[in-house]
Chain A
Amino acid sequence: MSRHRSPILLVIALFIAAACSSATPTGGGSGAPQASGAAGTLVYYADVSDLISLDPAVAYEFSGVLLVHNAYETLVRFEGSDLSTIKAGLATSWEPKDAGSTWDITFKLKSGVKFTSGNPLTADDVVYSLQRVIKLNKSPAFLFTDIAGLKPESIKATDGSTVVVSMPKTSSPQGFLSILTFTVGGIVDSKEVKSHETSGDSGSGWLLDHSAGSGPYVIDHWTKNAEVLLKANPNYGGTKPPLSGVLVKHVPESTNQQFALEKGDADVARNLGPQQISAVQGKQGIATTQGNSLLLVYVGMNATVKPLDNVNVREALRTAIDYDGIIKELLKGNAKKVQNIVPAGLAGYNDATPFQADVNKAKSLLQQAGQTSVNLELLVPTGQAPGGVAWADLAAKLQADWAKIGVTVTIKQTAQADLLTSYRAQKGQLVMILWGPDFPDPDANVGPFTDYAAKSIAYRNGWDDKTIAQKGRDAALITDTSKRAAAYKDITEYVLHNGPYAILYQPTELFGLRSNVKGFAWNPMGWLDFAAITK
């Protein structure tokens, strides 16, 4: 028996020896194991565990949207980090017209555009792509069906380069144009996609990890839980992207991202916290940058719960909060002070910030409401809030601020899914959570925050104000931009003092970059144009 054991040990020893000997040449003294193909490729380290699909009709998660945005073109688009001016994409014109019972938007297509496959992009591809979203009915489809009120037959090609979309009068043409800038409006190569259809899936099985677009990049491969590689699209009609590839590496641990950035293995580190950003700042070869987001972190106050049904109590709670302290101390300046329901960066943003830790005023508001001591429960999610602070720390700060005006708050921390289950059922008292708009238009916030019947945020906080809800619906339909802005100013001003919300801040996104990376412009919708980046 013992004779059998020796060969086994020998094999194990050989195996280890092989590992060591083959490891040494690359490792030994050559510094970081440099990725040999990294020249000309942007290496982007990020936690992309949310990635589900790279199909524009399916992707609705941050990572998916970032990648899809760079592989497909849309009819209209926003440029760089701007979200207020709609620019030409695949369409050269897109004027909405009042057609009696509908809004008709006629899109004239740019000529000479080709897909990666070499197929020309025609009106049929546009109709196929937009109808495909509705037929597949995946996560982002509600933007077309519920928000824009579209049906498959609402989208028609009138000739090879013209597409007409008819929308019901209850939907906002401006809102729809904003939706079309989003990845869900990405135009796919219908011939290519149809050739990969299996059992009526409209090609979504294939598009999960392939691309068939006309954007600056093509999806080369997606290794699940490891990486996605984009390569420059040889048939791209626009300016040729300076970088021939983009490697998005899935690195969930932010310390690891920081190390790789410092070593030069990563060009971009996506998930560094405020402290890590300060740690790398000033180091040779590293630059940091910020990007805006459209998120709002807020406290909802359930107006069906006493004494939160009293508008003065709600105003007192808003007035007592030390917003500046939250932003400067807890978030290290990593957020913008915003107190209205439309975030900075969207049309209709109202920059009024009247509240800041006024204890006397808050106390007198409570007195007016006939309240001297108030006890409430605050529901808080577990984990990190946007901007890099623990939700629990934010909650403790609010608890301390409110204690100063005689409001005692009991903090109840729970997993976000659990919290949402209570919140959706109107079972919260005070609920701290975040909101991001579904599409870059003020209606994506004003609707949910004001319209009780929409069964979204206003409903969850038991705030049924029919006048303001109607004003919100009307504002969405205004096509004149300056009149629309005025309407939103009026609405946000009203909600600021009467609504059941205390908007705490709008977080900023932080990025660590190698200092040779130029042209990095984060769009608040969660994407960036890789084609604008050089290194």
Chain B
Amino acid sequence: MRFLAFLIRRLIGIAAVMIGVSVITFAISHVIPADPAVAALGDHATDEQIAAFRAEYKLDRPLPEQYLTYVNDLLHGDLGRSIRTRRSVADDLADSFPATFELSFTALLVSIVVGIPAGIWSAISRGRLPDVVVRVLALAGGSIPVFWLGLIVIGLGYYQLGWFPGGGRIDAFVAPPPLRTGLYVVDSLVAGDVEALRSSLIHLVLPALTLGYFSTAVITRMTRSSMLEVLGQDYMRTAEAKGLRERTVVLRHGLRNALIPTVTIIGLTFGSLLSGAVLTETIFSWPGLGRYATASAVSLDFPAVLGVTLLAAVVYPVANLVVDVAYYWLDPRIQRG
């Protein structure tokens, strides 16, 4: 029951965040000096065409009225129509979000699988060579610009070695699996399409490594520092004194406690992976949300920008919610308290 109450409180919070975000985004996007009608129709459009366009998108109405119309449509499940693509924003998001989700999720998976062991290793060999190597790599991960890293990765993995494709989600001559979730890996597994599975997995490698490097670095550093803290605790010494193997002490007693701050970071990182995918998506021709957002912002496509912002406004709190649920599982004190 307590969990349910907690969940409901969180969901109300998410709704409040969305209202706030929509008001702010709407206000900002409508007070900038450039005219979206001019942006959409360009240099050649006549004044009549611009006026007709403004009327079509209700840009000629007072701002509060525009907002209320927008919210009303939103409550009816209508995110509006994109100025740039002329399609429904919901359809555009449904096309591009799964691609970004698949990429970010894979990047996160890489970060967890690499980052947590690296952090532990670094902590238990504090001051020695492995620690130094891990720390240098983690420092680099936090400071190398994604754009540059992406070009290096593609230059090496695709151009020099030729082990991986240079971009896209799937080989152009392999038919994508029938879309159910929009996640190619999942959909090709469901369809039992080995060729599509192979192609979509291999296409994920370079972009996921590129995108995941930063979060791997963050997770590594967080795991290392919390592990170091835990290693100094009395109960660890007790466990060691009981004659348990080091492996058991570190993994059973240490990791469980060290993971709590790491889980927080993982949740936050997932949100930033989704939004940080913009550059990675551009370099790797990945047809995701980041590129959609950039293209929409550049062409002053307000309905699309609002749609993306609202989606992000849902994703962040949901990621946090998942983290809180994970706490619940990791730390019995939270369940009781």
Contacts and interface: CB of A to CB of B under 8 A. Distances in A.
A229 B172 CA distance: 9
Interface string B17-50: 0000000000000001111101101111011010
A420 B202 contact: no
A262 interface: yes
A516 interface: no
A159 B158 CA distance: 59
Contacts of A420: 34, 38-39, 42-43
Contact of B205 (A23, A31, A415, A433): A23
B283 A421 contact: no
A260 interface: yes
Contacts of B162: 27, 30-33, 263
Interface stretch (A13-21, A125-133, A210-218): A13-21
A43 B291 CA distance: 22
A22 B198 contact: yes
Contact of A35 (B32, B155, B172): B172
A256 B283 contact: yes
B285 A251 contact: yes
Given A227-B172, A250-B285, A420-B42, A259 B159 contact: yes
A53 B176 CA distance: 21
B118 interface: no
Interface in A204-228: 223-227
Contacts of A100: none
Nearest to A221: B175
Given A142-B49, A225-B96, A421-B34, A265 B287 contact: no
B287 A225 contact: yes
Interface in A390-443: 415-418, 420-421, 424, 433, 435, 438
A431 to B, nearest CB: 11
B109 A438 contact: no
A52 B92 CA distance: 12
Given A35-B173, A252-B285, A256-B166, A142 B46 contact: yes
Contacts of A435: 43
A259 B300 contact: no
B285 A253 contact: yes
A415 B34 contact: yes
Contacts of A227: 168, 172
Contact of B166 (A13, A27, A223, A265): A265
A283 to B, nearest CB: 13
Contacts of B43: 420, 433, 435
B103 interface: no
A483 B196 CA distance: 62
A249 B172 contact: yes
Interface string A247-287: 10111110110011011010000000000000000000000
Given A22-B198, A26-B198, A52-B85, A252 B282 contact: yes
A286 B197 CA distance: 33
B95 interface: yes
Given A249-B168, A251-B285, A253-B285, A262 B159 contact: yes
B86 A52 contact: yes
A26 B202 contact: yes
Interface residues of B, number: 59
B158 A259 contact: yes
Contact of A253 (B44, B158, B282, B299): B282
A2 interface: yes
Contact of A256 (B47, B163, B167): B167
B169 A226 contact: yes
B198 A260 contact: no
Contacts of B205: 19, 23
Contacts of A226: 168-169, 285, 287
A263 B172 contact: no
B193 interface: no
B201 A23 contact: yes
Interface in B161-203: 162-169, 171-173, 176, 197-198, 201-202
A6 B285 CA distance: 36
Contacts of A249: 168, 172, 285
A277 to B, nearest CB: 18
Contacts of B298: 415
B329 interface: yes
Interface string B126-158: 000000000000000000000000010011001
B46 A455 contact: yes
Contacts of B47: 455
B252 interface: yes
Interface string A79-114: 000000000000000000000000000000000000
The 3 closest A-B pairs by CB, nearest first: A225-B287, A417-B39, A37-B173
Interface of B: 32-36, 38-39, 41-44, 46-47, 49, 84-86, 95-96, 109, 112-113, 151, 154-155, 158-159, 162-169, 171-173, 176, 197-198, 201-202, 204-205, 252, 256, 282-285, 287, 291-292, 295, 298-300, 329
Given A23-B205, A229-B172, 9 more contacts: A2-B256, A12-B112, A22-B201, A23-B198, A225-B95, A227-B168, A250-B287, A256-B283, A256-B284
Interface of A: 1-2, 12-13, 15-16, 18-19, 22-23, 26-28, 30-33, 35-38, 43, 49, 52-53, 139, 142, 146, 223-227, 229, 247, 249-253, 255-256, 259-260, 262-263, 265, 415-418, 420-421, 424, 433, 435, 438, 448, 455-456
